[in-house]
Chain A
Amino acid sequence: QVQLQESGPGLVKPSETLSLMCTVSGGSIISYYWSWIRQPPGKGLEWIGYIHYSGTTKYSPSLKSRVTMSVGTSRTQFSLHLTSTTAADTAVYYCARHLIGSEAFDVWGLGTMVTVSS
């Protein structure tokens, strides 16, 4: 059974880069697309982007200029980097597996809270 675990700093200073890692256990990242999704406090979910193990990426138009995703060399991890952060980037960040062809997210991590504050 595939499980996902997000990890990274819980506090980021404004204007700095937010970096998170998602570790995949119980399965391989090959043949799937992997997304990052966030939820600001008291608000709805927002899709950030996805990455394929081959390196193919697709980002949300609203975040595209600040987002980079990459796959780890071990092929059991992938990462998110969000630059020029502001308080508006404070959110719970989830990684999720993308069900290809059905365009749904069928496996999610527990999420990790990231606060952008000085």
Chain B
Amino acid sequence: QSALTQPPSASGSPGQSVTISCTGTSSDVGDYKYVSWYQLHPGKAPRLMIYEVSKRPSGVPDRFSGSKSGNTASLTVSGLQAEDEADYYCSSYPGIAWVFGGGTKLTVL
């Protein structure tokens, strides 16, 4: 059982916006700024999309944004593109060990 809870699936049409949630507790997501998001494409290396809740690494399109409210972090993908179809995982570091969500499969319709 994953420590963080994500919806198993999400979908949207090209051009639309989709938000993926990541729910933890006050002991991890709620109390720390260390929330990150990863994109997993089959056959490719996982890619860091968001770190420290809302920061984007160089090279990540600004269509990807992150936020947090209470114990829930969110990843929003605006202007969906076919290439965004992938699995997305959230992660939190509450100081002892990293914990991950169960992953959300994003489908672009």
Contacts and interface: CB of A to CB of B under 8 A. Distances in A.
What is the size category of the interface that chain B forms with chain A?
20 to 34
Interface string B42-61: 01111110011001010000
Main secondary structure of the interface of B (DSSP, over half): loop
Main secondary structure of the interface of A (DSSP, over half): strand
A68 B3 CA distance: 24
Interface residues of A, number: 23
A105 B100 contact: no
A105 B38 contact: yes
A110 interface: yes
B109 interface: no
Interface of B: 2, 34, 36, 38, 43-48, 51-52, 55, 57, 89, 91, 93, 96-103
Interface of A: 4, 35, 37, 43-47, 60-61, 94, 96, 99, 102-111
